[in-house]
Amino acid sequence: MSYVKYFTKARGVIFLMLNNRSTRGALLCIFSACLWGFTGTVGQFLFQQMGISSKWLASNRMLAAGILLLIYIYWRRGKEIFDIWKNKKDAKDMLLFSLIGMLFMQYGYFLAIGHSNAATATVLQYLAPVMIVIYVSIRYHKMPSFFEFAAVLCALLGTFLLATHGNVKSLSISPLALFWGLLSAVALAFYTVFPKNLLQKYDTILLIAWGMLIGGICTNFVAPFWHLEGTFNFVSIGCILFVIFFGAMLPYLTFLYGVKYIGPTKSSLLASVEPLSSTAASVLWLHTHLESIDYIGIACIIATVFLLSIQPKPKIKEQKSIQ
């Protein structure tokens, strides 16, 4: 009876927690970030164990997810999904967002994994917030705050340690991994900053859906969906479906609900779980070898998210976030 009593109490506590908007939002954001992080590790498994091309997976993940998301939105909204193409300026911005932001963010990320590992690629992509700080400082001739300056230093130190292991005369990761990882970070920064006007008129999930579809169509000229390489069996096909559904569709939807409950600032902070989950999955599942100095570099880059989140902010209404 005592076990039943304790179980009933625990169930009641969990029920009350899930009914709390802040708790629910935080859990949704953490869940989304874990899925994104684990997706990179699944991609690493497909590249290393199944011989599937990183270009093919990046390209067709975008294509499939874009099609499925647009079908879902069409089911909910109907022909409204085409409104964005009726305005020339919005259509132009949508193309820029898709071709510069979404395409290189997704494509660069998976190619960085292909040339290194999921943990390194994910952490390098998390340099994007620091790039945004640098851009804003240059664009508006504004000196960074103390926390922003500290975040930049942490990011530079973390990247240096990951890339060189402290030896300035050599790279510990391939130049291509560093190139694609940094390119994905630049694209993520653009992806975050650029669609401000679009976000005021259209839902975030619609921009993501069109961005993925356009990016997937363009990259299919490089890695067409019918050009299959590697081993395709129940395991690899299951992993590919996981990357599409649980890495590109579900986490975007759940993250948006999390943002709705707790706002973009807290959501972005909780999204820093992504590199942690990616690192843990890579080490525990794929036995990726990381040196002690790699963990220090990872910690430095993740610390930038916390430094940027605790700096004093003006009391203004938070804008919609795009992840």
Give me the pLDDT at residue 130, please. 84
Give me the pLDDT at residue 110, please. 94
Number of other CB atoms surrounding residue 118 within 10 Å = 30
Give me the pLDDT at residue 128, please. 85
* Cβ neighbours of residue 293 closer than 8 Å, sequence gap 6 or more: 161, 165, 166
Give me the pLDDT at residue 264, please. 65
Q: Are 211 and 66 in contact (CB under 8 A)?
A: yes
Secondary element (H or E) of residue 117: none
Q: Are 84 and 206 in contact (CB under 8 A)?
A: yes
Mean pLDDT by 10 residues, the chain (323 residues): 46 48 81 91 94 94 94 92 94 95 93 91 86 84 82 85 76 87 92 85 91 95 90 94 91 81 72 85 88 88 78 49 56
Give me the pLDDT at residue 319, please. 46
**Looking at residue 85, what DSSP letter applies?**
G
Output helix, strand, coil percentages for the chain, rounded to the nearest 5.
80, 0, 20
DSSP string, 164-231: HTT-TTS-SS-HHHHHHHHHHHHHHHHHHHTTHHHHTTS-HHHHHHHHHHHHHHHHTTTS-TT---S-
